[in-house]
Structure 1
Amino acid sequence: MATKCYYTILAFLLLLLNLSHYGEAAKNDLGASFIFGDSLVDAGNNNYLSTLSKANIPPNGIDFKATGGNPTGRYTNGRTIGDIVGEELGQPNYAVPFLAPNATGKAILHGVNYASGGGGILNATGRIFVNRLGMDVQIDYFSITRKEIDKLLGKSEAKEFVSKRSIFSITVGANDFLNNYLLPLLSIGARISQSPDSFVEDMISHFRAQLTRLYQMDARKFVIGNVGPIGCIPYQKTINQLNEDQCVDLANKLALQYNARLKDLVAELNDNLPGATFVLANVYDLVLELIKNYDKYGFTTSSRACCGNGGQFAGIIPCGPTSSMCSDRYKHVFWDPYHPSEAANLIVAKQLLDGDTRYISPINLRHLRDL
């Protein structure tokens, strides 16, 4: 009898231990990561589009361990910032690209990636690539996912899952300048008819509506990246024939103008959308710090693309099988003419996860997850 009682108590204690461990694990795990944006975070959606913007060719993905170095459609040599953040926040699988055939059933409960190379806030952005998913379409696609989550979990649990256990990460805006307003030849008409102030206001007003739509579908935890120093990427340095330590003033000035308005928008949304937390990622200052002080972080160059061709900084032709490729990929801030290397993405992700308000405010991403 005593033995039976002993085993009952032991079983009860083990159950309590398991429950407390489960509670702790749930607290420290990210339920889902929903990723929106452009080629900086595209994980393969453009593979399924008839588009001129693709990265599913080698040597892209050469350091992506999950596929043994095969390309996935990520525009870098390894993981994107979105991949690294998801891993660090306890997500067991990478967010699956929405257009991929396996983006169904329980797989979507780890998160879905809607990002698309060439996509922007404005629908006209990226038309040079023929096809791409702009933010409006990406949010249309999320509404499909949202209904699927209702079916998988039931309406009440689905709402809790999306609002409390999911993070919505949005990295967009650079293409609205690079592949719209600043595009040689195609954009001259737009620049004549629309001042920079008016163009930026157009972006902000569209973005406000897009973020509000996500809120209406129960999104509550947001991280919004501002536009990086687009005047300093190898492509801009090469086509403008700049020196190593120079950047294109107009491009950076437009990015800063937009970023100032974005900061206001984030504050406005935090005030006006009850229960939501909008976190602003200061990508501009973070990446500029890497570009200016690259040697401090173990890089040998922040001006030359590791993989690319053309001009002084290999900055004209995108990375592909015929490109020249550096042997020291982890010593280059830029993988190709436009996109950071995995080594740079790791440094940026670390600051977003654990950094202070210089780079991520009002709270960092670990704190956002635990809200």
Structure 2
Amino acid sequence: MDLPNVQGYVVSMEQQVALFEVVQAVITLQPGHHASAEFFAKSLFFMSVGSNDIFDHHDYNETTVSQPELMAALQSNYTAQLTALYDLGAWKFGIVSVPPIGCCPYARLQNLKANRSGCFAELNNYARSFHSMISALLQNLSSQLQGMVYSLGDAYTMTSTLMDDHLAVGIDNIEEACCGRGTLNAEKPCFTNDIPNLCPNRSDHLFWDMFHLTEYVAQKAAITLFTGGPTFVALMNFSQLAWASA
């Protein structure tokens, strides 16, 4: 989000909001700018953040920052950036929470190295805590910011449900990455210069690389976000959000 990223490859949420502010200013200065406020108010703003913060915290900062302290920092940053977007005219937010990141190939590999099997329970606990935090945050913020409406996609429940019944939707492998190298295809990333191992059929895998879902699974997730019921998307799905009055 906006916490220090050790790898240095991520554009922070704060930077993304700052870039949007530049675009918003340019659009507002165009002819017909009087309609820009309505344009932004009707637009959907999709956000999916938190996984990198949890991974970096667990890998590098866990001994100095507790889980409650991390969640408090994320809550503060998320609130600040959502409020900044609202002040720039964004009223409709489609938010996706953190999935069970402890079940990705990278996390499973860490478990194997520690002589454990299955998903990394501690990382999944962080993901569940994040969802609880963001749910309460959105309820509170929407009661304070007039006109704000939102949908919260529960990526944790969506992914867990899919994993529990993966064979029914044609997914044979929920543990290994399709692209990578080594154990679980998760010891090295899916980079061309590493000459990665590529699975024959990416659509029968849950994960494309050590962290990310395959396109097939991402499509299913998108359909659920736009058409799913309250088990997976609250307070409304993304399609209903598009038609909601801000």
TM-score normalised over the length of structure 1: 0.63
For the pair shown, which has the larger CA radius of gyration, 1 or 2?
A: 1
1:137 and 2:8 are equivalent in the alignment: no
Task: Give the deviation of 1:153 after TM superposition.
Answer: 4.9
Task: Give the deviation of 1:238 after TM superposition.
Answer: 1.5
Distance 2:197 2:96 in 1: 31
Task: Give the deviation of 1:244 after TM superposition.
Answer: 11
1:181 and 2:54 are equivalent in the alignment: no
Secondary structure at the aligned position of 2:229 is classed as coil
Task: Give the deviation of 1:228 after TM superposition.
Answer: 0.7
Secondary structure at the aligned position of 2:185 is classed as coil
Question: What is the count of residue pairs matched by the alignment?
Answer: 241
Task: Give the deviation of 1:170 after TM superposition.
Answer: 0.4
Match of 1:127 in 2: 6
More helix by share: 2
Residue of 344, 354, 360 corresponding to 2:227: 354
Match of 2:219, as an amino acid? Answer: L
Distance 1:304 1:131 in 2: 24
Query: Contact conserved, 2:50 with 2:98, CA < 8 A, in 1?
Result: yes
Match of 2:19, as an amino acid? Answer: Y
* TM alignment of 1:193-208, pairs within 5 A: 193-208=64-79
Match of 2:46, as an amino acid? Answer: S
Distance 1:131 1:236 in 2: 20
Distance 1:318 1:370 in 2: 40
Task: Give the deviation of 1:272 after TM superposition.
Answer: 1.0
Match of 1:211 in 2: 82
Distance 2:202 2:16 in 1: 32
Distance 1:192 1:142 in 2: 35
Secondary structure at the aligned position of 1:254 is classed as helix
Match of 1:154, as an amino acid? Answer: G
Match of 2:241, as an amino acid? Answer: L
Secondary structure at the aligned position of 1:264 is classed as helix
Deviations 1:20-43 (A, max 9, x none): xxxxxxxxxxxxxxxxxxxxxxxx
Structure 1 vs Structure 2: percent identity of aligned residues?
27
Task: Give the deviation of 1:241 after TM superposition.
Answer: 0.8
Match of 2:2, as an amino acid? Answer: L
Deviations 1:188-214 (A, max 9, x none): xx3233211111111111110110000
Deviations 1:173-193 (A, max 9, x none): 000011x2111xxx2xx3233
Query: Contact conserved, 1:163 with 1:221, CA < 8 A, in 2?
Result: yes
Deviations 1:284-338 (A, max 9, x none): 1111122222112111111111111111x11121112210101111111111110
Q: How much is the aligned-residue C-alpha RMSD, in angstroms?
A: 1.7
Secondary structure at the aligned position of 1:246 is classed as coil
* Unpaired runs of at least 5, structure 2: none
Query: Contact conserved, 1:238 with 1:314, CA < 8 A, in 2?
Result: no
Distance 1:143 1:123 in 2: 20
Distance 1:244 1:365 in 2: 38
Residue of 108, 113, 120 corresponding to 1:248: 120
Residue of 92, 97, 110 corresponding to 1:239: 110
* Unpaired runs of at least 5, structure 1: 1-120
Match of 2:143, as an amino acid? Answer: D
Match of 2:36 in 1: 158
Query: Contact conserved, 2:49 with 2:98, CA < 8 A, in 1?
Result: yes
Distance 2:35 2:62 in 1: 48
Secondary structure at the aligned position of 2:63 is classed as helix
TM-score normalised over the length of structure 2: 0.93
Task: Give the deviation of 1:245 after TM superposition.
Answer: 7.4
